[in-house]
Amino acid sequence: MIAIIAILIGLLLPAVQKVREAGARAKCANNLKQIGLAIHGYHDANNKLPASQYGDYSDPTAFGGPHFNSQSWSFLAFILPYLEQQNVYTTGNIPTATIATSSATGQAIPTYLCPSDQMSQLRTFSELSRYSQVTTLVGLTNYKGVLGSNFNYGDYANANPAFLYNGDGFWGANGLFSLDVWKAPITIVAITDGTSNTFMVGEDIWTPNYANGQQPGNGFAWAHAVEATLTCAMPPNNLTHPNGTPIDTTSTNASEWGSYHGFKSKHIGGVQFVYADGSVHFVSNAVPLSTYRALASYKGGEVLVDAP
């Protein structure tokens, strides 16, 4: 009898896990849907998409520079009032307070956490990253804005000299959440590739060595401009170099970081994105890289082949 029960449990467990993950994926999709609606709500109120405030090393006067002792708030901070988080926004003095001193920074925002990933249990983290300089308690995010597809780092570098800084990928990027887009905010009508063909926000997963990393953009703080973005230069859920060797996710050196700085999820087979029209889609790991990159730009004029 005990053996039969053990066999039944063994048969049922995978089914239970599959049902549980299906529910978590649906909740994740709903989170992305709410983020998309909040972005559109912000646009309706301000006639522009939310743009992260960011001051680079080359322009430390802009918002006080890049670090947590500045006002380099992310676009996720600006949509809080449209996610029923007006109190966090107001009491945290966003966007005039510095990130390090704001009471908002350490708040966990449920809509920013995917139930399939470890971040949904951690919720907050005492972070010492390139952009915090000092240890700061931060609320975490699984959801990050799309910088675009141009990128100057790692195996999947996709530089474009037509863009600012030779298409750096952070500044002068071709997606909706480039870090310098505050200089020329984007409106919905400027998305000439079509809102149904343009990524807005996708997923990321907890990677411990990147939580305190020293490469640009490492970290998971929803409050900080750089940490709330990723690139589509490399394939979704990319875990290998082009030659097939695995990426060392325990390393934060530039060559590993550059190939791993893309969108990732715990959902089997792909990553979920909210598009500029507010719809949410599951994008397969097998999507052609050219199509994936095309979906990341908003006015590239690319022809989509085998779009998801």
- Residue range 201-230, pLDDT digits in tens: 999 999 999 998 888 889 999 999 999 999
Would you say residue 128 lies in a domain?
yes
Does 302 reside within a domain? no
Domain count, the chain: 1
Q: Which domain holds residue 28?
A: 2-296
In a domain, 306, yes or no: no
Domain-located, residue 307? no
Does the pLDDT of residue 267 top 80, yes or no? yes
Over the stretch 295-307, which tens digit does the pLDDT of each residue have? Answer: 999 998 877 766 6
For the chain, give the longest Cα–Cα distance. Answer: 73
Name the pLDDT band for 171 (thresholds 50, 70, 90). confident
Q: Are 99 and 78 in contact (CB under 8 A)?
A: no
Taking only the tens place, the pLDDT of each residue in 30-80 is 999 999 999 999 999 999 999 999 988 667 779 999 999 999 999 999 999
- From the centroid of its chain, how far is CA 39? 14
DSSP string, 78-101: HTGGGGT-HHHHHHTTTTTS-TTT
Rounded to whole angstroms, the Cα distance separating 41 from 26 reads: 22
For residue 176, being part of any structural domain is answered with: yes
- Looking at the domain assignment, is residue 168 inside a domain? yes
Report residue 13's pLDDT band, with 50, 70 and 90 as the boundaries: very low
Q: Say how far apart CA 296 and CA 156 lie, in whole Å.
A: 15
Residue 66: inside a domain: yes
Q: Which amino acid is at 215?
A: Q
